[in-house]
Chains A and B, each alone.
Chain A
Amino acid sequence: MGSETQYKEHIIEEYTVDKEPYYVPVGDEISLFKAAYEEKMPILFKGPTGCGKTRFIEYMAYHLARPTTGGKKQSKSEKDSRIPLVTVACHEDLTASDLVGRYLLQGDETKWMDGPLTRAVKRGAICYLDEIVEARKDTTVIIHPLSDYRRILPVEKLGTVFEAAESFLLVISYNPGYQSALKDLKHSTRQRFIAMEFDYPPKDLEAEIIAHESGVDSVVAESLATFGEKVRNLKGSGLLEGVSTRLLVYAGRLIARGIPPRRACQVAVVWSITDDAEAQQSIQEVASSLFE
């Protein structure tokens, strides 16, 4: 690393995925997504944490090219034709103005500042609202006009309506598993989206992913995938959630760094997924059966 750039800075709606993300398709999700995108249909991702939802949207953002309008120059670099990806992690204090924008005080006057959603709408980016159910219900309704045929964003404080750019796409995600019934998605919201269900990849595929992402050999990757499968068997009886592929990859990376496998599984999986002492011990026993 050179000393001159420690980090990169992007304007939010200009951020594009420039390096091809590693993603192994499990089913027909790529063609589905493409079709939906062409048809400008908003998409809802469902699935447990760490199974690859975010990776998939990055992958798609990288691969989807902005429909080139005839009049523009063709010499545009590849980067410019990519669709920017605006990601908003939702939380329970997220208000509508956090998404749409607000007036800020600047000098002696107030100045309007666009929120991420408005910017994505204007720029024609993919707007990815992660964990949408975490947001307050009164916040989520503002995406309604955007997510049907109208594709508009009314901004009441400005007295303006923005029509979304061609390439704009709204994608939301949520995990139906662990949130309580209180935090369910409203039907008026969810029925505006096509839903794509994600789950952990099948064992062989997951082993491949782990091997690629962590750099461990195929035997260890295979064992980690088996470990993942066994731990997921406990979902419902001992655990609220199965172990994510992400955690298995972490475990793999630690192993690749020379950490003993049992220890790596302990810190990356066992202690991460549960605080229940008995469940911890059980999972640790599974790890110690699988790894020497």
Chain B
Amino acid sequence: MVKHNLAAIENEISALPAPVIDEYKRSLNLFGESLEEQDKIAWAQEGLKIAQQAIRAWEAATEYFRASFEIYQIVPFPQFLIWARNGSNLSKESPSIGVSYFRSSPMSIPLIKHRNIETWASMGQNLYNGTWKSTTLASKFFESSPVFLQNLTIYELEMFVNVIATLAQKSYDLATECILLGQRSLPQLHSDREQFIKMLNSLADQNWREVKGCLEAIPRLPKQLNGKQRDHLFSFADRLAASGSNNVSQFLIEASQSLGLLNPEHQDRVFALAELLIVESIDSIPPFIKNTPIVLSKITIAQLEDWLQEGITTLKQNPEGGLSYFRIESSRSESVIESLSSILNLSSVQHIIELYSQALSGSDVQVESTAELASKGIGWAEERQPTTEGKTIYLPGNINRYHEKYKNFAWYKVLTTHQVSHLEFGSFNFDFEKDSILFENLRPTFSDTYRILTSENAESSQISNIESHSSPEDSIETSWITDMQRFFDLFHHRKLALDIFTAVEDGRLDHLVKVRYPGIRAPYRDVQEEALLERPPIEQMPLQQALIEILLRLSLDSGRVIPVPVMYTEEARVLGAIVQKVFNSDSTVEDSSEATIRIYQVISLMPNNQIPEEDWENQNLEGAEYTEEELQQLVSDLQNQSEGDSEPANEEYDSPQQVDYRGEFKPELGQLLSTLKDQDGASSEDATQQLSKEQIEEMLSKSVELQQPDQETGQMDPVGSFAENIMKEAGLDPAPDTPGQGQGRLSHHEEKGGPLFTKEPDTYVYDEWDFRADDYKPRWCIVREKMAGEGDAQFYSESLRNYSQMMLKIRRQFESLMPEMFRKVKRLEDGEDIDLDALIEAIIDRKAGQDPSNRIYWARNKVQRDVSVVFLLDMSASTAEAIDESKRAAEWDAPDDPVEYMIWLRSRRGEGGRRNYKRIIDIEKESMVLLTNALEVIGDTYGIYGFSGYGRENVEFYVIKDLKEQFGEQVKKRIDKIAPLHATRMGPAIRHAVSKLKTVDSRTKILFLISDGRPQDRGYSREGVEKEYAVHDTRMALLEARRESIVPFALTVDKAGHDYLKTMCQDMAYEVLEDISQLPQRLPYLYRRLTV
């Protein structure tokens, strides 16, 4: 068969389709003399062989000839032949694979070491197993080879192909897709690539579906992770994969994102710690790495190990508990973080600080986080600065200023004490008309000379000035809302006046605090010292700012010398003297205002120029004094000076930096808000209450205290929206902005989500018991308490009529409870009177020479019936079932999908529209009617509540009769409205009922749970283990009730009830009603049994 001469071969080639011939000839030309005759023959012969292997093999031969010359340029002829022969073999299997092989060769071969050509070809070969799908796969492989080879070593590629081959056994489509994905994403990896592919191999063996996800995850890996860290990460992923975990791709994404938030040093530490953990529990690795940023936001990297070790200890005792620990879904975990952390969160001390503030101020102040205030859009924008608006004290959400928690608390305390002092010492009670104690009153007569001098239109402003002062009485009501506003209206340069007032007033308050509270003096001093150290150098400030800075430092009780401009020593001395005069234990806010006027007079007349550094001199202003005459002289001198200056050449005035611990002081806004809020509470006839939005806007437009949150700078009408928000805040705007209240929103939280928080009224958050973790899931459920709607009282009277016979009996039974309350107790050592029988016995005994008993008295022991009971009614959808329809169909299980669920629900409820049969719920309702009627006879305290809900964030708790509510028409109407609703999450409902019972003071407390079946809710009761979960949580809730010395009793009509009730109630009392129609008579009976 071997042809020895080229012509013979060419002859055969010429029988092939034209493209082959063309390419043959073209290449032959290119080879020219570079190829020896013998080699040419081998070359051509190989091509011919390819072409003759199969029907469409000529295409492969075309590609062979086309690529030949290029390949020949790269590899020596022996290797060339190897290349050709491999191609030939591939073509023999499938011509189209051959085509791909040859076509990709010119690009791929230069990237391969010559000895690896065969390896490369065999990779493709491995992917092929005879099916047409595998053909596509192998072809895809060769087509994408240039990209792979450019980035991957041959060894890596081999491993990757291995992965693909394994995948191909499951799904060719997936394998093909993964090749394409790999082509895109693998080049994005570097030194970590080998580890990644290794991980893919483990995955392919254990959990092949995950491979694709991991490949897709690569582009989403954050750039903050370098190759080494990613290598680490992949090695964990590899081990996870090998262990059979089925969330490797999710782990890759979540873990890398979490790690991306840390700095490289911390990342290394986390990996090192993860190595410790992986020995104990590989499943804990994903939550551990994922949650490190959260944990590290609270504790230091050094403490992370302590936290981890604690978790490992938990793991050893209880693997499920350990997992919850690392998910931060257990109370233990949170408390360990809390105890390790030096950061002090406001939420953990909020109540303490609130009580502290209330004690100090004597008013009902609230404490909230500053972020809360900034989000209200009423003029405050800082999220870290403490402040107050007169009714609430706002503090930063957390403090991480010191390394010790107690120091951070001390800082909170200083912040609070300062803010409270605004309330305690009356900053917001400023009264324009009230006399100052320390100064002569300038307020009624003061006119801002600075305004007259600098105003462009001096005449007109003078006129307006005169006007406003000529008839102050008229204008009080019309133009000023608050006295503070009236005061600041005196000044032309409002910002300057505000800064002066702030410095003086804050100084006054600090002085008072230190006098009145000797105990806090020391920490206060420390904080003031710190604040002084943080002050910027005074010498670099323009004159006006520098003078305010001097006041500020004096207010910080600076015992040391302060740099003062040499030219203005006299002014500085007088200002210092004025401000220190206010630092007196009797001073009032009015004194601060008078001092402000005096200081303003001086500073406003001074040029705001930079003073050269050499013109400063240290001065001791401590204890300086002045006289009013001196001040007048100074002012008129300055006035003359500035009149002489034709060009003031002033720099724009800028406020000095705030003092951290004092935070923000907004006297105008504060007084406005307190005024508005007070008015809200006061009688509505008050004329001043009719403040319009326009009036507030007018005031706000003048004030310099407004600050906008940064993100809202683009707003059209900032003042308008501030005014609106302020009115809302003060409760003056009754605009209905809370639609849909009353019916629960079916918002949807993932079951896997974290703890829940709520600010809405009448919502309560409860923990939930996770029996697998043997720990509570903190803040897991939201109970929404609502009043039940009112229906028709007809139902009540009808039920009574229908059951009139039974009712009579029940009433009699209950009435018979009454005499049992008085019991004559005999044979007491002491009592109301002598018990004749006992006395006679005693005397006989003595006569008979025996020792007589001295228990010869009796007493009437009045056993007060003191019972409180809560009835908790199951209002789940299943109670819509007709009572005679005894079979409990499988359709009970509500659909999982929320939308389907709603449809299912609607259809269920729709059924009740026109029905002529009785449902379980109807019986429940009737029983309630009978029971309330009976309970009213004996006067026990009782409450009736219904519960239902959907999901852990929507546990609905309907009040039909509140414990402390009087029975009346409205209760009768509400009973009518008891209707089947959603699911049955018993735990939180029980917990809420317990909290209700805790508020009453009774000797006997009973919790009566009436349900129609096992607890079930989304994420509460489905799929095997969750059923257990619900039962255990309910059991724990009942146990909690018992711990509060409440007697729980469960009554169910679920005939299959015994098995889970046994778990749920164990040693607690429960009863399963065989026949639901017995409920009306059984319930009062049980009740009597329980309470006597």
**Complex interface bits, B536-549 against A, C-beta within 8 A gives 1, otherwise 0:** 00000000000000
**Interface residues in A212-270 (C-beta closer than 8 Å to B):** 223, 226, 229-231, 233-234, 237-238, 262
Distance in Å from the Cβ of A166 to the closest Cβ of chain B?
Answer: 31
A182 vs B361: C-alpha distance when bound (angstroms): 33
A251 vs B351: C-alpha distance when bound (angstroms): 26
Given the known inter-chain contacts A231-B359, A278-B355, A283-B359, please indicate yes or no for A291 contacting B833, CB distance below 8 A. Answer: no
Interface stretch (choices A3-11, A23-31, A68-76, A97-105): A97-105
Give the residue name and chain of the A residue nearest to B420 (CB): A289
Which B residues are in CB contact (< 8 Å) with A237? 355, 358, 364
The one of A108, A182, A279, A290 that contacts B843, using a Cβ cutoff of 8 Å: A108
Distance in Å from the Cβ of B315 to the closest Cβ of chain A?
Answer: 31
Which A residues are in CB contact (< 8 Å) with B522? 292
**Interface residues in B341-386 (C-beta closer than 8 Å to A):** 351-356, 358-364
Give the residue name and chain of the B residue nearest to A223 (CB): B518
A138 within 8 A of B: yes
Give the residue name and chain of the A residue nearest to B521 (CB): A292
Given the known inter-chain contacts A282-B359, A285-B413, please indicate yes or no for A290 contacting B517, CB distance below 8 A. Answer: yes
Given the known inter-chain contacts A110-B834, A292-B521, please indicate yes or no for A233 contacting B417, CB distance below 8 A. Answer: no
B1041 within 8 A of A: no
The one of A138, A234, A281 that contacts B358, using a Cβ cutoff of 8 Å: A234
Q: Are B833 and A103 in contact (CB under 8 A)?
A: yes
**Complex interface bits, B831-852 against A, C-beta within 8 A gives 1, otherwise 0:** 1111000010011000000000
Q: Are A138 and B862 in contact (CB under 8 A)?
A: yes
A110 vs B354: C-alpha distance when bound (angstroms): 63
Give the residue name and chain of the A residue nearest to B834 (CB): A103
A290 vs B524: C-alpha distance when bound (angstroms): 12
Of listed A182, A237, A289, A292, residue having the most chain B CB within 10 A: A289
Distance in Å from the Cβ of B654 to the closest Cβ of chain A?
Answer: 35
The one of A103, A108, A238, A262 that contacts B519, using a Cβ cutoff of 8 Å: A262
Q: Are B359 and A286 in contact (CB under 8 A)?
A: yes
Q: Are A287 and B519 in contact (CB under 8 A)?
A: yes
Q: Are B519 and A291 in contact (CB under 8 A)?
A: yes
B520 within 8 A of A: yes
Given the known inter-chain contacts A237-B364, A278-B355, please indicate yes or no for A102 contacting B832, CB distance below 8 A. Answer: yes
Give the residue name and chain of the B residue nearest to A104 (CB): B834
A234 vs B228: C-alpha distance when bound (angstroms): 59
A97 vs B518: C-alpha distance when bound (angstroms): 55
Given the known inter-chain contacts A233-B362, A234-B355, A283-B359, please indicate yes or no for A288 contacting B520, CB distance below 8 A. Answer: yes
Which B residues are in CB contact (< 8 Å) with A77? none
A95 within 8 A of B: yes
Q: Are A233 and B358 in contact (CB under 8 A)?
A: yes
A228 vs B809: C-alpha distance when bound (angstroms): 58
B1001 within 8 A of A: yes
A136 vs B862: C-alpha distance when bound (angstroms): 9
Q: Are A97 and B359 in contact (CB under 8 A)?
A: no
A91 within 8 A of B: no
Which A residues are in CB contact (< 8 Å) with B358? 233-234, 237-238
**Interface residues in B489-538 (C-beta closer than 8 Å to A):** 516-522
Which B residues are in CB contact (< 8 Å) with A230? 359-360, 362
Of listed B354, B355, B842, B856, residue having the most chain A CB within 10 A: B355
Q: Are A290 and B519 in contact (CB under 8 A)?
A: yes
Chain A residues touching B, majority SS: helix
The one of B351, B518, B831, B862 that contacts A292, using a Cβ cutoff of 8 Å: B518
Which A residues are in CB contact (< 8 Å) with B360? 230, 233, 286, 289
Distance in Å from the Cβ of A184 to the closest Cβ of chain B?
Answer: 13
B859 within 8 A of A: yes
The one of A95, A279, A282, A291 that contacts B518, using a Cβ cutoff of 8 Å: A291
A39 vs B232: C-alpha distance when bound (angstroms): 95
Q: Are B519 and A278 in contact (CB under 8 A)?
A: no
A285 vs B416: C-alpha distance when bound (angstroms): 11
Which A residues are in CB contact (< 8 Å) with B866? 182
A96 within 8 A of B: yes
Which A residues are in CB contact (< 8 Å) with B518? 223, 290-292
Which B residues are in CB contact (< 8 Å) with A157? 833
Of listed A105, A138, A180, A182, residue having the most chain B CB within 10 A: A105
Q: Are B521 and A286 in contact (CB under 8 A)?
A: no
Given the known inter-chain contacts A103-B833, A105-B834, A108-B843, please indicate yes or no for A233 contacting B361, CB distance below 8 A. Answer: yes
Which B residues are in CB contact (< 8 Å) with A233? 358-363
Q: Are A285 and B516 in contact (CB under 8 A)?
A: no
Which B residues are in CB contact (< 8 Å) with A226? 516
The one of B353, B856, B859 that contacts A105, using a Cβ cutoff of 8 Å: B856
A229 vs B360: C-alpha distance when bound (angstroms): 9
A289 vs B833: C-alpha distance when bound (angstroms): 58
Which A residues are in CB contact (< 8 Å) with B856? 105
Closest 10 pairs between A and B when the two form their complex, measured CB to CB: A282-B355, A289-B520, A233-B362, A230-B359, A289-B517, A238-B355, A282-B356, A291-B519, A97-B832, A289-B519
Q: Chain B residues in contact with chain A, CB under 8 A?
A: 351-356, 358-364, 413, 417, 516-522, 831-834, 839, 842-843, 856, 859-860, 862, 866, 1001
Other than the known A182-B1001, A278-B352, what 12 A-B pairs have Cβ atoms closer than 8 Å?
A95-B832, A105-B839, A108-B843, A110-B834, A182-B866, A233-B358, A237-B358, A282-B352, A285-B356, A287-B519, A289-B519, A291-B519
Give 29 pairs: A residue, B residue, CB < 8 Å, sorted on A.
Answer: A95-B859, A97-B831, A103-B833, A105-B839, A105-B856, A108-B843, A138-B862, A180-B1001, A223-B518, A233-B358, A233-B359, A233-B363, A234-B359, A237-B358, A238-B358, A282-B352, A282-B355, A282-B356, A286-B360, A287-B519, A288-B519, A288-B520, A289-B413, A289-B517, A290-B518, A291-B518, A291-B519, A292-B519, A292-B521
